[in-house]
Chain A
Amino acid sequence: MKEIINKYKILGFILLSVLFVGCSSDDTSSVFEETPTERINSRINELRTLLKSSDTGWKAVYFTDNTQLGGFTFFFNFIDDNNVVMSSDFDDDTSLLTSKYDIVLGSAVKLSFTTKNDIHKLSDSANAPDANLTGRGYLGDFEFLYYGVDETTGDIIFRTNRTQQELRFVKATTDAVTSISESLVIPELLNDPTKSVYQNLAITSGGVTETLGGTYNPARRFFSATGINRSIDFGIAFTSTGIIVSPAIEVNGKQAKEFVYNATTDEFVADLGDSDSVVISYADAPPFLTNDNLVVVQADNAYGYIDDFLFEAPSTSTNYRLLRDEVNNGLSAAGFRLQRVSFFFSIGGDDTFNVIQYRLENIADGSTFNINHFVTFENVDGKLILTDDGWSDPGLIPFVAAIDNALTNPSGLYVMQEDFRVRFTNTIFTFTSAEDPSIRITTYAFQ
């Protein structure tokens, strides 16, 4: 009996073996004609040839993260198998520099800029646009995964190594480098400190215009616009004639992406045809008025500009800073400087008792004294108008007149409660001259 069982076992083994052999397929043809190594090599060679194929080089507009940063324009010329000549509009230095590049296998075949050049400025942990990006620079990559060629346009399609965002290398025109140099004036037009702090984003669609109030952050190249019903944020890159925005703004099924600067009207215009357009322009007033001017004058409210903390605040305008410098120049001869400008409203509930107070600091010993300018207020058309009602020390008026004239101009002030903080948790209110909206002062609310 045992022997029979053994026989079956043996038979089983044999059958199993036969089965194994039977399972081997004769179909040994490959899915691809080449081995993986050959395919990778040919992909590497393909990209290398492609990069060198453009005599005029390549141009790329790189938005590292269009939810918080703008775009940077690069020019690349791959002069041989190892060296690339590069320029960019990252800063004012647009000179051409040579560095190394390589094409290697990462998660796919990738172009890697292997020694320092302009592209690495986006990936410098020590150089961020502001403190919120400390350690992360401009979130840039300098290794790009190769995804082939756009057959229609001839663009080389890459994806960034870290974030897998598409980045296209477009065949450069002969004036690509000059064009980068020319584009350096555009940021100055978009962020002119002598002009109004208010910028509008006007979207015209089917004959109806929606206006949003915008703020441009020059360090981040980023525009944030807020309207009544929605907010629109986008990064900005510069061209020789205007700007490119990303993400594009959709209007009536069309994409507003490229804006041209119109010097006559001082506007950036994306003309989408059929009277549809998107326009970025300076504005004399905020696009919609708030009631914040009515809020600040409530009984015993106080707001203070503290020079040590708010002079550098992004919301403190350049033209206000110039006024402060003018005041300090006058005070320095006497050994003083401006330490604070405060507003006290409806003191003790008396709405005729209001003060703009200038606190001066003795530079030698740190002691302070105040100059009080008593004022009355009116709220007219969303503006706060402060009117002279006497001074504590009339002889000292000339020392603070530069700022005081702006604050007590009969045209009044636009008051805005801001949604950001500066250093402390106090709510921030800004006061902007309606007469000259390039003058804006930032204050802490003290209640």
Chain B
Amino acid sequence: MIKIQRAIKAVLAVMLLILIGSCDEDGSLGESQLNTETPDLSELDKYIRSNYVDTYNIDVLYQWNENVVDYNRFLFPPTEEQVQPVLEVVKKIWLDSYTEIGGEDFVKLVAPRQLLLVGGRNFNRSGTILLGIAEGGKRITLFETDLVDVKDRGNITRFISTIQHEYTHILNQTKPFDEQGFGRITPTEYTAQWFNTSIADARELGFVTDYARNDVVEDFAEMVNIMLVNSNEEYNAIVDAIANPQARVDIRAKEAMVVEYFDTQWGIDFYELQAVTARNTQEVIN
């Protein structure tokens, strides 16, 4: 037994020697070899820092970084001069509206951490167009930044609807809505072939857009989107124009669930949010 102890001691002694040997220190760490200088901030960068990073903890990526964009697509970064006008529109219509109704901290707490701007359209080889992506609720990619015309309502609506749609996904990922209940309203009309029907035909089936037919989650996001990119009057006109009475009932039932979700989960009066968003949209165009 004593011998074993001795043996252990011997081994420990050897290990200690190795350790001491390896502790030999040649010098201090010295200065970083990486560039730690503060980067030159352009006027645009300063705008982003004060209006997005500091205010909402959202970073805006507008300069190309191949690691965050689909390498296999032929995309390009936005024109620098176009970035700030577009960000002002996004802030006014989306961030300011939610902040006004949801409170100062609403978007700070529930928001994507990055907005990635891409200049042109994202065409698939089949010729269809991808408008936006929300990746894990952390980053929203907005295509077509260069095509935004801040004075054209239709153009703005199309661009903003991407954000409204993707942001709804982020809200849903944070606090889920009643998917089963929502899905029971028009249970048989969901299809992966949604693009084969027109928006008008989709509405006659009880969906606000063609894409809403893709699945329940997209249906919910499209409901929020269409209600926010239109004023209450415009939205009601869309629903009232539907010929099929059942479709109108179904869309109104979905609307009620959206309103209830925002009320119970987020404490937001959705119609107020709709009114503020419509007002802010009008102010942008004016």
- Point out residues on A near B: beta carbons under 8 Å: 3, 6-7, 9-10, 13-14, 17-18, 20-21, 35, 37-38, 41, 81-82, 99-100, 102, 106, 112-116, 120, 123-127, 134-137, 139-140, 142-143, 161-162
0/1 per residue, B33-53, Cβ < 8 Å to A? Answer: 111000010100000000000
Please tell me if the beta carbons of A112 and B125 are within 8 angstroms of each other in the complex: no
| 6 sample A-B contacts, Cβ–Cβ < 8 Å, listed by A number | A6-B3, A10-B7, A106-B66, A116-B79, A120-B77, A134-B123
> With A6-B3, A116-B79 in contact, do A125 and B121 touch (Cβ < 8 Å)?
yes
Please tell me if the beta carbons of B124 and A135 are within 8 angstroms of each other in the complex: yes
Please tell me if the beta carbons of B14 and A120 are within 8 angstroms of each other in the complex: no
Distance in angstroms from A103 CB to nearest chain B CB is: 11
0/1 per residue, B117-133, Cβ < 8 Å to A? Answer: 00111111111010000
CA distance A101 to B110 in the complex (A): 33
Please tell me if the beta carbons of B74 and A124 are within 8 angstroms of each other in the complex: yes
0/1 per residue, B77-95, Cβ < 8 Å to A? Answer: 1111010000000000000
Excluding A35-B33, A81-B40, A135-B124, 19 further A-B contacts by CB distance (< 8 Å) are: A6-B4, A10-B7, A14-B14, A20-B18, A21-B17, A21-B18, A21-B21, A106-B66, A112-B66, A114-B63, A115-B64, A120-B119, A124-B76, A126-B121, A126-B129, A134-B126, A136-B125, A140-B74, A161-B66
Complex interface: chain B residues within 8 A of A161 (CB): 66
> With A100-B63, A143-B66 in contact, do A134 and B125 touch (Cβ < 8 Å)?
yes
CA distance A113 to B119 in the complex (A): 13
Distance in angstroms from A120 CB to nearest chain B CB is: 4
> With A112-B64, A135-B74, A135-B127 in contact, do A17 and B15 touch (Cβ < 8 Å)?
yes
CA distance A63 to B63 in the complex (A): 25
B10 interfacial contact with A, CB 8 Å:
yes
> With A115-B64, A116-B146, A143-B66 in contact, do A123 and B125 touch (Cβ < 8 Å)?
no
Complex interface: chain B residues within 8 A of A106 (CB): 66
Please tell me if the beta carbons of A120 and B76 are within 8 angstroms of each other in the complex: yes
> With A106-B66, A116-B79, A139-B74 in contact, do A10 and B125 touch (Cβ < 8 Å)?
no
B11 interfacial contact with A, CB 8 Å:
yes
Complex interface: chain A residues within 8 A of B3 (CB): 3, 6-7
Distance in angstroms from A18 CB to nearest chain B CB is: 7
Complex interface: chain B residues within 8 A of A136 (CB): 74, 125
Complex interface: chain B residues within 8 A of A35 (CB): 33
CA distance A44 to B65 in the complex (A): 17
B62 interfacial contact with A, CB 8 Å:
yes
Partner pick for B74 among A14, A41, A125, CB 8 A cutoff: A125
Please tell me if the beta carbons of B125 and A116 are within 8 angstroms of each other in the complex: no
Distance in angstroms from A142 CB to nearest chain B CB is: 7
Distance in angstroms from A127 CB to nearest chain B CB is: 8
* CB-CB nearest in chain A for B129: A126
* CB-CB nearest in chain A for B8: A10
Complex interface: chain A residues within 8 A of B75 (CB): 123, 125
Distance in angstroms from A415 CB to nearest chain B CB is: 35
* CB-CB nearest in chain B for A102: B63
